[in-house]
Structure 1
Amino acid sequence: MFHENTTCSRRTALVASELYYWHDTQNWCGSMVPSLTVQPAEHFENPETKRRLQNLVQATGLWEHLSHLRPKRAADEVIRMVHPQSHIDHLASVCERGGGDAGELTPAGPASLEIARLAVGGVIVAMDAVMTGAAENAYVLCRPPGHHALPDLAMGFCLLANAALGIRHVQKTYGLTRIAVVDWDVHHGNGTEAVFLDDPGVLTISLHQDNLFPLDSGGIGVKGAGNSNINVPLPPGSGSGAYREAFEQIVIPALDAFAPELIVLPCGYDASAVDPLGVCMLSSEDFRWMTRQVMTLADKHCQGRIVVTHEGGYSPVYVPYCGLAVLEELSGASDTLPDPYADFIANYGGQALSNDQAAAIKRAKDAHFSS
């Protein structure tokens, strides 16, 4: 047991449930519907990445050093803080007929709406724990993901806007007026952006591969009310150098200026070097480093309050190491597990900041800080 004798300097809560892994994305082939030219296979968003992350946390012994929260089912009145009843009814009808495509590239099974309610409820339970001081920070290991879900459309494997609903709950219940979102999933956090675009009390920051998904989304010109939306589209092939430069030039100054009362991280691991749905090159150490920067700012501005919602990441062999690194950092674990892929990824050509990456980051910085 690697973490058997570890100590943790933070009170970190983990929300996990076997039921999250029962969300059925059916026999699509990656993200394509089977046909006479597309052989049925497994959907990219399947339980394996999340289940293997949970398994690794348990196998290393870190599991015993976290506090564990049970998700609660989110009722319609909670979901209606973001989604109209027509959206809930649509999802219910898809599930009642045995499943199918619930929106744009978003398959669902018979129990998917009920499991999505548990994903939302898990985020709300985590928010309550952090806001009441029962935990300093929390990680929600949920399925289905949420950051692409629009108020009236399931999209990109996401049925309900998990993080956005948690934020609306915090605004309503605790009266917070400054909440920051930092989304480093390789795909643009378009759903979260759409929910809060007219809300200057929520700063939304998305670092993503330029024009990957959704197409024509995530440009630097979308600034939101009070200049509270920041998109950082990074060139394909961006690695450690580009992401750290983006943090130092944009994310850290923006969070410092905003002085949030809570930070929410829609946390996808599909910017990793071995993910099938992106062509960026991050390692687990990069996710650990980004988490550390956010924690420093959270300590400065909001008593360390951070809630992490698990989003994308489609490499079953590597997501567990990235997720473990984030959980180790959140909990302040005295031991860290060596990443068996670390040296391999670190030696990828192009990990250093390139001229085109620096120029893209400067354009995004100028778009926000010069306006």
Structure 2
Amino acid sequence: MLEAYRDDLASHGFAPAPRAAADWWHEPLFCGWGAQCARAAHRLHHDDPDAATGALMSVEDDVATVRAAPDFARQEVYDAFLARLDAHAVDPGTIVIDDRWQAAYGTGEVDTEKWPDLRGWIDAQHAAGRKVLLWWKAWDAEGIPAEECVRNAVGDPVTVDAGHPGYRARLAGIVRHLLGPDGLDADGFKIDFTQRGPSGASLTGTDGVWGIAAVHLLLETIATAARETKPDALLVAHAVHPSFGDVCDMVRLNDVTERDVHREPVPVTDQLELRHGIASRVLPDHLIDTDQWPMPDRASWLAYIAAQPRYGVPALYYVEAIDNSGERIQGADLDAVAASWQAYREARA
């Protein structure tokens, strides 16, 4: 059915092909979000950093952890993550700096208290042969003038307005600065929260730009500016639809579901296989970011690592501990990551 749907769109010109992939796009990713969450979970819920709870956290604990995790998007914290990976020969080709390196989500201004020299840090990663992606929170209006936003009935900004010419020009300028040689010189974006576009009859914004068309226009604005600034810039997004083939280079399989509707745990590798089956049918020529967060426990995480190379580009989210279970990650575990990545690279050679 998915193939038939894609074929129908393609026959009518609505399933654009992706760009040719740069070699470095295939490299294993390290995304700091899971490691940030693990530090937050230990600070909030695990007084003994060597203790394991052996059970998933409650919904309330999950919420508290996610709220605290952005505080660990810091230069010295990421240096510590990478130092531990280096000690075990885990060498990511691409690093994703996750939520939140920004002083304001909407503006892309660097939080210099957390990242006193982000440009210098990116330069150092480039010197080490690595690329750097910046996490981008789509639709967030923080720091954006109200007139460039979709607003509610009392005039308060709800999201940015993807159809507003002023906002699109602003966003393109932000992208050029973040990727350009006179700015941060980053290598692309992990674009998150595309599902949070505006909806509701009481909202007001640019006429004729709404729904999935607004999502595409938002990503198109980012993609155009990114590629004009850095032709091999990588855009990672969870835009699993044939019509988004031109604005997304690598499709994310997204966050792992922790429990089903009956509150029972869902095997993580089963989800990886199922989501790959969907994404590879809808966007068969795109690279796939296998993602890795959240993991229920260390054993599930290790199983996920072993499975990732069969389904796409390996993505590592954990370095020190598992956020849900509180289990510490051992040196032998990271050795297993290194071995998995070596096999993945050898298979591609």
- Give the TM interval when normalised to the shorter protein: 0.3 to 0.5
Q: Which has the higher contact order (CA 8 A, sep 6+)?
A: 2
TM-score normalised by L of structure 1? 0.34
Q: Which has the larger radius of gyration?
A: 2
TM-score normalised by L of structure 2? 0.36
